[in-house]
Amino acid sequence: MADVQSMHDDRMKEIDKVGVKNLRYPIVVLDSRKEEQATVANVNMYVRLPHNYRGTHMSRFLEVLNEFRGRIYIGNIHEVLTKTKQVLNSEEAFIELAFPYFIEKAAPVSGARSLMEYNCLFLASLNRRFDFVLGVEAPVTTLCPCSKEISTSSAHNQRSVVRVRIRFKEFVWIEEVVEVIERSASAPVFSLLKRVDEKHLTELAYSRPMFAEDVVRQVAVELEANKKVTWYAVEAENHESIHNHSAYAFIEKDKNEGKGPSRD
């Protein structure tokens, strides 16, 4: 049968990324407490398409995934990308894995245990250099410093979302990033709380007022001090409770710093 995708294209336009998106697929994530955690990722896979090829073979991305079925994890993503380059005959391959990760947490006073969900990302690419980014998103509470300063008996707070992306030279657990985020905010968020816990967290937040700017700076300070982390990007979005907008802050270490050495 005719191989239409491999037909010659004379428009002389290389395509940076071509592939498949929004594929749900099981993966395994390393868990600091249980060794491994099975989850389901939303997968995007791409390759760079040379200017002389009309298209790529989409089914081959699925063939690569099926070859690694049940054992896609942080330790073999380089292998997955190497195989993708070979099968798709491309000089560069990309994979993006977005997945929920669950951590069991104990409420601060009652000790009531429950699972918290965190949205995480693996972003990786391979040409002559292998690049890997870990992304972690965590909900937190922030209490407005300005509101506390100008009010006689209260202050408004908000549910905030903090997103961190890092590169590292030594392995960093997802749990480590979550801990940095939560202690950089006014208070953490839990799935299950008793009244004694609500009292504790309300008072904790009131004692630790934070702007979005405070949160990203504090996370950045902690990541800067972590010798395993070579690059980071941090953003905080406060879903305001008394304003019809969100407050936002972003900070990034030099974007080219921390990328791994060139490798075949």
CA distance 135 to 104: 19
Query: pLDDT value at position 50?
Result: 67
Backbone angles phi, psi at 128, to 5 degrees: -80, -15
CA distance 2 to 158: 58
| Each residue's pLDDT tens digit, 54-80 | 556 778 899 998 998 777 888 899 999
Q: What stretches of 144-252 adopt beta strand conformation (E)?
A: 157-168, 187-188, 229-239, 246-252
Whether the pLDDT of residue 189 is over 90: the answer is yes
Whether the pLDDT of residue 1 is over 50: the answer is no
Tokens representing 70 are 């049940």
pTM over 0.85: yes
User: Among residues 81, 105, 129, which one ends one of the domains?
Assistant: 105
User: Among residues 47, 71, 105, which one ends one of the domains?
Assistant: 105
The residues that bridge with 105 in the sheet, in sequence order, are 114
Q: In terms of pLDDT, which residue wins out, 157 or 121?
A: 121
Domain that holds residue 73: 1-105
CA distance 144 to 163: 19
Whether the pLDDT of residue 10 is over 70: the answer is no
State mean pLDDT over 119-146: 95
CB 120, CB 168: distance < 8 Å: no
Secondary structure of the chain: what % helix, strand, coil (to 5)? 25, 40, 35
**Are residues 99 and 122 part of one domain?**
no
